[in-house]
Chains A and B, each alone.
Chain A
Amino acid sequence: MLPDASSWAAEATAVFAKEWRCELRTRYALSTLALFAFTTLVVVSVSLGPLGVTKSQGSAVLPVLFWIILLFSVAAGLPRSFVQEEESQTATALRLAATPSALFCGKLAYGLTVIFALEALITPIYLAMMSLAVRSPGLLVATLAAGGYGLAAGSTLVAAIIAQARSKGTLFAVMAFPVLLPLLLLSIELTRNAMGGEPAGVALSQLLLYDASVTIAGLMLFPTVWNP
């Protein structure tokens, strides 16, 4: 018997609210993400700041570094979401009580808000420290939204897969690479276009298609990954 839409949404909302409540009391993911992001941001800015690279080098290199900072910040904090459930043995109660798709969406929504908060924090700092001009701010916002969603969906799915494995850290890196590589390439290209004032081209459509594919794959795979 499938739950109706309102109770499914209530379940997903409950998971989302629980994630934030636990996070705000421990601040594990937030502090890890913020610390990692800030450290790498400062290192990159000091090493390659506005005077360290020429304008042409900057437009090629800086979007790459920006997405690498985002990727590693996310990888440092978000996979804990599922790993913590297994390590603290709360996964058993959750398996017995939650509809898998609602659980996946609740965790995804939590990851998404964390990534959006991170992007909102580091993007203006990065642009200011590197003296980067953005000629198409609308495209940059769309790229951050679509790229951030893809990062959240991809890392949530991979985190769920690795949660029950022994070598979680290694496995996350191995599994996240093929899942997140297309997302990163597209996001970097779109960020370059946004800075150069060029049109989005097909890359934005491809990025949205990637987001939809990862979400559908997550909803289909997650019940099998999560339950026996």
Chain B
Amino acid sequence: MPSPATLRFENVCRRFGRLSVLEGVSGEVAAGGALLVTGPNGSGKSTLLRCLAGLLVPEAGTIEHDEGDGSLDIAERRRRVGFVSPDLAFYGELTVEENLAFFARLRRAELACGLAILDRLGLPADRRAANLSSGMRQRLRWAWALMHRPRLLLLDEPFQNLDAAGERVTRELLREHLATGLAVVANPSPLEIDRVAGRLELGR
């Protein structure tokens, strides 16, 4: 049984030039729960998730992600998180399976795990990523994010462009992930998700 994972961030601030996007944002979530982040457009939800993923460095504040072996540094946090975001794209020249195989080698993950998720999501493995519809691309993002069995899942608009079947499967995947892992979910649409442990509203 893996040690319980936790995520705690305090007074996170991030600016882009003169524009202050995050000012003193704090929150925490432990294994088995999801932190729901909501707010209007431009309130900093995606920026917060990128900071938590290690893709942006906050100008102030602390982010502590512990998976039982001490707080991870930013490089290790980047490698371990599962991340679903509209900004995430894959190699259009490669097929879905080739994309997953490439990232599985980088992350030392099992391709079989990614293919099993693909199968559940009903995504054809032999189709080129450039030929995927927007809903199919979103399914590929989910398979990519879960393939290395992350403890922390960061989801930015996770159900965007999915049809009813796709949304049902991804909600199932999230529920299964939350049995042992934790998640920060920004702007799910519709807003209801299971196992919400806390809410954070930005831009108020």
Q: How many residues of A contact B (CB 8 A)?
A: 27
Q: Are A96 and B79 in contact (CB under 8 A)?
A: yes
Distance in Å from the Cβ of B154 to the closest Cβ of chain A? 10
Given contacts A25-B93, A92-B88, A95-B78, contact A11 B55 (CB under 8 A): no
Q: Are B75 and A14 in contact (CB under 8 A)?
A: no
Distance in Å from the Cβ of B136 to the closest Cβ of chain A? 16
Q: Are B89 and A90 in contact (CB under 8 A)?
A: yes
Given contacts A7-B108, A95-B55, A228-B56, contact A89 B103 (CB under 8 A): no
* B51 (CB) vs chain A CBs: closest residue: A228
Q: Are A88 and B89 in contact (CB under 8 A)?
A: yes
Q: Are B88 and A93 in contact (CB under 8 A)?
A: yes
* B129 (CB) vs chain A CBs: closest residue: A90
Q: Which residues 39-74 of B sit at the A interface, judged by CB distance below 8 A?
A: 53-57, 74
Given contacts A21-B94, A92-B55, contact A97 B87 (CB under 8 A): no
Q: Are B87 and A89 in contact (CB under 8 A)?
A: yes
Q: How many residues of B contact A (CB 8 A)?
A: 29
Q: Please measure, in the bound complex, the distance between the C-alpha atom of A95 and the C-alpha atom of B77, giving whole angstroms.
A: 11
When distances are taken between beta carbons in the complex, the residues of chain A under 8 Å from B144 are 93
Q: Which residues 1-56 of A sit at the B interface, judged by CB distance below 8 A?
A: 1, 3, 7, 10-11, 13-15, 18, 21-22, 25-26
When distances are taken between beta carbons in the complex, the residues of chain A under 8 Å from B78 are 95-96, 227
Q: Please measure, in the bound complex, the distance between the C-alpha atom of A14 and the C-alpha atom of B88, giving whole angstroms.
A: 20
Instruction: Out of A13, A97, A227, A228, name the residue touching B103 (CB < 8 Å).
Output: A97
Q: Are A14 and B106 in contact (CB under 8 A)?
A: yes
Q: Please measure, in the bound complex, the distance between the C-alpha atom of A10 and the C-alpha atom of B75, giving whole angstroms.
A: 19
Kindly state whether residue A98 has any CB partner on chain B within 8 Å. yes
Q: Please measure, in the bound complex, the distance between the C-alpha atom of A15 and the C-alpha atom of B144, giving whole angstroms.
A: 17
Q: Are A98 and B106 in contact (CB under 8 A)?
A: yes
Distance in Å from the Cβ of B45 to the closest Cβ of chain A? 16
When distances are taken between beta carbons in the complex, the residues of chain B under 8 Å from A95 are 55, 78
Given contacts A1-B76, A21-B98, contact A90 B91 (CB under 8 A): yes
Q: Are A92 and B89 in contact (CB under 8 A)?
A: yes
Q: Are B94 and A96 in contact (CB under 8 A)?
A: no
Q: Please measure, in the bound complex, the distance between the C-alpha atom of A88 and the C-alpha atom of B90, giving whole angstroms.
A: 8
Q: Which residues 144-178 of B sit at the A interface, judged by CB distance below 8 A?
A: 144
A-contact bits for B89-107, CB 8 A (1 contact / 0 none) = 1111110001000110111
When distances are taken between beta carbons in the complex, the residues of chain B under 8 Å from A22 are 91, 93-94
When distances are taken between beta carbons in the complex, the residues of chain B under 8 Å from A98 are 106
Q: Are A228 and B55 in contact (CB under 8 A)?
A: yes
Q: Please measure, in the bound complex, the distance between the C-alpha atom of A88 and the C-alpha atom of B89, giving whole angstroms.
A: 7
Kindly state whether residue B142 has any CB partner on chain A within 8 Å. no
Distance in Å from the Cβ of B37 to the closest Cβ of chain A? 19
Q: Please measure, in the bound complex, the distance between the C-alpha atom of A18 and the C-alpha atom of B108, giving whole angstroms.
A: 16
Q: Please measure, in the bound complex, the distance between the C-alpha atom of A227 and the C-alpha atom of B77, giving whole angstroms.
A: 13
Given contacts A22-B94, A26-B93, A228-B55, contact A14 B81 (CB under 8 A): no
Distance in Å from the Cβ of B15 to the closest Cβ of chain A? 13
* B99 (CB) vs chain A CBs: closest residue: A93
Distance in Å from the Cβ of B84 to the closest Cβ of chain A? 11
Q: Please measure, in the bound complex, the distance between the C-alpha atom of A21 and the C-alpha atom of B79, giving whole angstroms.
A: 24
**A contact residues vs B (CB 8 Å cutoff):** 1, 3, 7, 10-11, 13-15, 18, 21-22, 25-26, 88-90, 92-99, 102, 227-228
27 A-B contacts (beta carbon < 8 Å): A3-B108, A11-B105, A11-B106, A14-B102, A14-B106, A18-B91, A18-B102, A21-B93, A21-B94, A21-B98, A88-B89, A89-B87, A89-B88, A89-B89, A92-B55, A92-B83, A92-B87, A92-B88, A93-B90, A93-B144, A95-B78, A96-B78, A96-B79, A98-B106, A227-B75, A228-B54, A228-B55
16 extra interface residue pairs, beta carbon distance < 8 Å, beyond A25-B93, A94-B106, A228-B54: A3-B108, A11-B105, A18-B91, A21-B98, A22-B93, A88-B91, A90-B91, A92-B85, A92-B88, A96-B54, A97-B103, A102-B106, A227-B54, A227-B75, A228-B56, A228-B57
